[in-house]
């Protein structure tokens, strides 16, 4: 059986993310991190995940957006204030990869604990 999950996800991501600023083709891999590598943050990230879940019929109620994505904009101010007060420090973000989204597509639902455990096992 041929698994077309990655091809479908890659096509979706290319359509949603567009082309890089300086042209060319996005380098999308299962290890590509949505925030760090692809620049998705804040509302853009929420919209991407919501559309992904709807497009691929993935049950993603309660998706932990704040676990994976920082806010747009005020990140510099928060980082500066965090130097002086723990109150302004955000917890470290967990990298969310395209491979994790593909795994959820195969499962038909987002399960944070299981998907992160799979990634940590290297599967």
Over residues 89-122, the pLDDT tens digits come to 556 789 999 999 999 999 999 999 999 998 877 6
Over residues 46-72, the pLDDT tens digits come to 999 999 999 999 999 999 999 999 876
Domain boundaries, the chain: 5-121
Over residues 22-35, the pLDDT tens digits come to 666 788 999 999 99
Taking the alpha carbons at both ends of the chain, their separation in whole angstroms is 19
Q: How many CA atoms lie within 13 A of 39 on its CB side?
A: 9
């Amino acid at each position: 059986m041929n698994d077309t999950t990655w091809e479908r996800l890659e096509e979706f991501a290319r359509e949603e993310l567009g082309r890089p600023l300086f042209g060319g083709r996005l380098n999308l891999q299962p290890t590509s991190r949505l925030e760090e590598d692809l620049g998705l943050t804040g509302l853009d990230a929420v919209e991407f995940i919501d559309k992904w879940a709807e497009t691929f019929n993935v049950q993603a109620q309660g998706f932990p957006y704040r676990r994976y994505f920082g806010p747009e904009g005020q990140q510099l101010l928060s980082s500066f204030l965090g130097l002086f007060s723990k109150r302004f420090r955000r917890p470290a973000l967990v990298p969310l990869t395209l491979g994790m989204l593909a795994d959820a597509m195969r499962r038909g639902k987002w399960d944070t604990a299981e998907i992160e455990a799979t990634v940590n096992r290297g599967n």
